[in-house]
Amino acid sequence: MEAHQHSPDSSSEECTVLEAPPPKNACEQHAGKVTDLFCSLCECALCEDCACGDHAEHPRVALCQALEQQRSSLQESLGAVQNRLPQVSDSLAVVKEILQQLTNQRASIEEDIQSSFEDLHKQLDVRKSVLLMELEVTYGLKQKVLQAQVENLVQGEGDMTTACTQTEEALAGEACAATLQAERELKDNLVDLASFGLSCQPEENDQLDLLLETDGLRKSIHNLGTIVTTSAVASQSEAMGAGLEQCVVGHPASVTIVTRDKSGGACKNGNAILSAEVFTPDGSIVDGEILDLKNGTYEFVYTVPKEGDFSLALRLYDQHIRGSPFKLTIARPSEVSPSTTTATSSAANATPSTGSSEGAKRRGKSPGQKKKSSKRASSALGTPRRKTQNPIEDDLIFRIGTKGRNKGEFTNLQGVAASANDRILIADSNNQCVQIFSNLGEFKSRFGVRGRSPGQLQRPTGVAVHPSGDIIIADYDNKWVSIFSSEGKFKAKLGAGRLMGPKGVSVDHNGHVIVVDNKACTVFIFQPTGKLITRFGSRGNGDKQFAGPHFAAVNKNNEIIVTDFHNHSVKVFTPEGELVLKFGSNGEGNGQFNAPTGVAVDVNGNIIVADWGNSRIQVFDGSGSFLSYINTSADPLYGPQGLALTSDGHVVVADSGNHCFKVYRYLQ
């Protein structure tokens, strides 16, 4: 018997009758009525009955018109949000990147803290072992003396006791001829014992004290290290000062930057990562100096060397502050009254400083303020004008580069290095990379990723090659030195937490890394492992002081040669930081400087110096006496920076203002 099957639509219940849907725009208040009006006051749809009732006196429009206006307004609001969406998306990406960098920086600092304290633990353990060893050695020497004396005294005491006992026994017996010889021997023995040279005074003392001055160490440990940060944000921070309104060619101009937090409150602490750049449409960059006043405000002092369309970009944590970039108004000295010019110079020279007043004046001074700087692009700057000078007939071999971000293009190149395997390395500062060329100028490779994490570059300014082949890069904005393999693979960083603004790097004959800290006015010497060997220098104009030092080189005596930018001199030090030699003064003559930068030493010990403000290269002997200059008249320099000698004996220089590097034939 077949089972009875129901169809899917069958049901034991009664079928439900479906009602027709209400008409479109039906009135909810009056059945069967259609809303075709709109009350503008109550903002609701009306039918004819509604319009005659409570809404009789209210302004009305046709419903279709109201709907059209509503849709138009809605579309406009949608467009506004859609226009805002890319900005929000970009902001999200930026904030995520900042958060990632913050996380990376935290991990990096945590690693530095762990490493530093592990190193301190090791040092303490080593010192403890040394003290324990010293204790054992000292105790052993004193114990040996005392133990030997104890053994001698025990032996003497035993011999005397035995002799006394034997003599007393002999005296207790009857005297006779038979004992005469024995008693004579006892007497001789007693005489010997009585006169025996036995030391009865202690030959050593029991002093073993520990002098361990821990109070100062405990205090140092209590204050060891600090986490530096600021709540400043670029969107709220602002700039002010005469340097934003008008600057005079050849005269220092000053701009004050006030950092603020997200609520607009003024920040009270310094150490914010601030960058400033004065530039022209063709990419020329004017050098300047930022001074951290440590109270949330900063001073930027710069000098424009010539007339032109200059702009000032002020960035806080890589973000433009309010109003940046600023369009600068450039005036010729003849267009400005002397009082205005004097006031501008005075304001720049009176920039507050944490150092001496003389140091403040030097830092407020820019090498571009000399009259010659306004003509730096002319050939007269490549060769001094005096007829009595005798230039070495060195020629420009080639130049490489233009302004740009591609291979073989540069934006504000700084440091230069040359390797033994016929390579030229360029620190391409504003492109955040290092480019490598052959001695013939052929592009070989480049590496570098912009960022603030280990292995990334933010503002590479100095480059050197270690004997191992590793590439050492000074990163000014990241405040550390990075070490890469010869293939550009990141290996390590050193100096984090110690360096404030590393500019130049070099390597001595022991393989130690020499770092010139431009901001701290100090030279640091590290092992490649990151261990600090020594440091010397401070801010000022004394023999062992610097004012914005730039680059360093090492001579055959392993002495360190440093260019002292704002002190317009070159100084030579021992590896321990003792001054050996100082030469140079401010001026345009032979042996004078207007802010020296790059430096190198040839095989004969001669010192080659890039003279930034005078846009020339000078040559000195090992004692600092002027020899000559390199003839650059064929293609004049414009603000030379790093300088090196190639493996085939030529001079390579970073022509920063022209965004290229040049190689000159050098007669040694």
Give the pLDDT confidence of 484-496 residue by residue, as tens digits: 999 999 999 999 9
pLDDT greater than 90 at residue 518: yes
**How many CB atoms sit inside 10 A of residue 562's CB?**
26
Q: What is the pLDDT of residues 135-181, one digit of tens each?
A: 999 999 999 999 998 999 999 889 899 989 988 888 888 888 778 88
Residue-level pLDDT at 562: 97
**pLDDT, position 668:** 64
Ranges 95-104, 258-267, 428-437, 652-661: which has the least confidence: 95-104
Which pairs from 64-67 meet CB under 8 Å and 24+ separation? 64/36, 65/38, 66/38, 66/40, 67/38
Three state DSSP letters for 179-213: HHHHHHHHHHHHHHHHHCCCCCCCCCCCCCCCCCC
Q: How high is the pLDDT of residue 337?
A: 53
Maximum mean pLDDT: which of 41-50, 63-72, 147-156: 147-156
Compute the average pLDDT of residues 425-435.
95
Nearest to 514 by CA among 599, 609, 614: 599
212 versus 54: the higher-pLDDT residue is 212
Confidence check: pLDDT of 370 > 90:
no
**348 has pLDDT over 50:** no
471-487 pLDDT, tens digit each: 999 999 999 999 999 99
- pLDDT over threshold 60, residue 374: no
Crossing angle for the helix pair 338-349 and 357-364, to the nearest 10 degrees: 120
CA dist 177 to 167, 168, 444, Å?
16, 18, 117
**Which pTM was predicted?**
0.48
DSSP conformation class of 456: -
- What percentage of the chain has pLDDT greater than the value 70? 87
Per-residue tokens: 222: 């209590």
Report whether pLDDT(205) > 50.
Answer: yes
Residue 335 has pLDDT above 70, yes or no: no
User: Whole-angstrom Cα distance, residue 320 to residue 314?
Assistant: 6
Give the least confident one: 102-106, 290-294, 310-314, 638-642. 102-106
Highest mean pLDDT among 29-33, 326-330, 336-340: 326-330
Confidence at residue 502, expressed as pLDDT on a 0 to 100 scale? 96
Residue with the larger pLDDT of the pair 62 and 551: 551
Structure confidence at residue 341 as a pLDDT band (50, 70, 90): very low
DSSP states along 227-248: ------EEEEEEEESHHHH-EE
Q: How many residues are listed for the chain in this entry? A: 668
Mean pLDDT throughout 575-599? 94
Is residue 359 scored above 70 in pLDDT?
no
Q: With 50 as the cut, is the pLDDT of residue 393 above it?
A: no
Residue 378 has pLDDT above 90, yes or no: no
Q: What is the mean pLDDT of the chain?
A: 84
Q: What is the pLDDT of residues 537-572, one digit of tens each?
A: 999 989 999 999 999 999 999 999 999 999 999 999
Number of helices (H), then strands (E), in the chain:
7, 38
List of residues 6+ apart from 441 with CB closer than 8 A: 398, 400, 424, 663
Lowest mean pLDDT among 376-380, 548-552, 580-584: 376-380
Cα angle for residues 87, 88, 93 (degrees, 5° grid): 100
- What confidence score (pLDDT) does residue 578 get? 95
High-pLDDT (> 90) share of the chain, %: 50
pLDDT, average across residues 529-535? 93
pLDDT the model gives residue 401: 94
Find the range with the poorest average confidence among 21-35, 216-230, 453-467.
21-35
User: Which stretch of 239-248, 429-438, 513-522 has the lowest confidence by average pLDDT?
Assistant: 239-248
Q: What is the pLDDT of residue 9?
A: 46
pLDDT at 339 over 50: no
End-to-end CA gap in the chain: 119
| Confidence band, pLDDT 50/70/90 cuts, at residue 107 | confident
CA distances from 55 to 30, 41, 441, 479, 501 (A): 14, 9, 87, 73, 75
Nearest partner of 429 among 455, 456, 460, judged by Cα? 460
